[in-house]
Amino acid sequence: MSRKNPTRPINPILPATTFAGRELLCIRGERRVFADLSFDLEPGDALVLLGRNGSGKSSLLRVMAGLLRPAAGVLLRDGKPVADDPEAHGGAARHVGHMDAVKPVLTVAENLTFWANLYGGSSEGVMIALERVGLGHLATLPGKMLSAGQKRRVNLARLLVAPAPLWLLDEPTTALDKTAVAVVESMIAQHRANGGIVVFSTHVDLAVDARPLVLDDHIPANREPLP
């Protein structure tokens, strides 16, 4: 794994954050998913998770977000264990998962404003974010009228409403068209230029120059749970 990083932060406006995992072990349903997994990420880094279906890409992203506790090992943000202060980690990390969390009876802008407020963002930020993902003209439309791709765009706009140094994207391009995929690529590039860190999994080729982390390399020799 090369330490060379072609997109060193040009204009670091985000707080310089490092993010690392040490010998992580994940157990799901009494079965070891991955073991002995370590990584180190510095400002501007991107990590792409590769692996078969069920190799633990989503689980690893949920571990990184703090939703799932690793059965062993430790996650470090700025050298301090994440588990010590989960709320601070919640402020620093944004997780985009399989589900888009768009409420059908709220408008697009209301959906996004709710998250913006919780993340400490502003309502102007909401409109800018919606323009960026190409939904500016749909701000007053209720969530139930959106297509799958549009819902995913709302979910991705959540990344932009308030700055956070760590983006954890679980197949962010699901249901997106080509234009939107290009938007995601440019969002990631800009985030890294700002000094942010991106970890993502994908099944399409994203034009992102990222270090690979192959989860198939971390399949535990013994799938059985610890005694």
- Can you give the binding site for other proteins, defined by CB under 8 A? 65-69, 87-88, 90-91, 93-95, 97-103, 105-106, 110, 114-115, 117-120, 158
CB count within 10 Å of CB 122 equals: 13
* Nearest to 18, CA basis, from 90, 95, 80, 83: 80
Nearer Cβ to other proteins (9/143): 143
Pairing of strands 80-81, 46-50: unpaired
Nearer Cβ to other proteins (77/95): 95
Structure tokens at 218: 């971390």
Nearer Cβ to other proteins (69/203): 69
* Nearest to 120, CA basis, from 164, 79, 86: 164
Provide, rounded to whole angstroms, the least separation between the CB of residue 60 and other proteins: 14
Q: Could you give the C-alpha distances from 65 to 62, 87, 175, 218, in angstroms and in order?
A: 5, 11, 23, 19
Tokens 């059985």 belong to residue: 224
Provide, rounded to whole angstroms, the least separation between the CB of residue 75 and other proteins: 14
CB-count burial class (<10 Å; 0-12, 13-18, 19+) for 74: middle
* Nearest to 223, CA basis, from 53, 67, 60, 56: 56
Structure tokens at 62: 């949920």
Nearer Cβ to other proteins (182/226): 226
Provide, rounded to whole angstroms, the least separation between the CB of residue 170 and other proteins: 10
Provide, rounded to whole angstroms, the least separation between the CB of residue 97 and other proteins: 6
Provide, rounded to whole angstroms, the least separation between the CB of residue 182 and other proteins: 25
Nearer Cβ to other proteins (120/149): 120
Residue type, 176: L
Nearer Cβ to other proteins (68/193): 68
Nearer Cβ to other proteins (35/63): 63
Residue type, 132: R
Provide, rounded to whole angstroms, the least separation between the CB of residue 54 and other proteins: 17
Q: Could you give the C-alpha distances from 63 to 27, 31, 175, 195, in angstroms and in order?
A: 11, 16, 24, 22
Provide, rounded to whole angstroms, the least separation between the CB of residue 56 and other proteins: 14
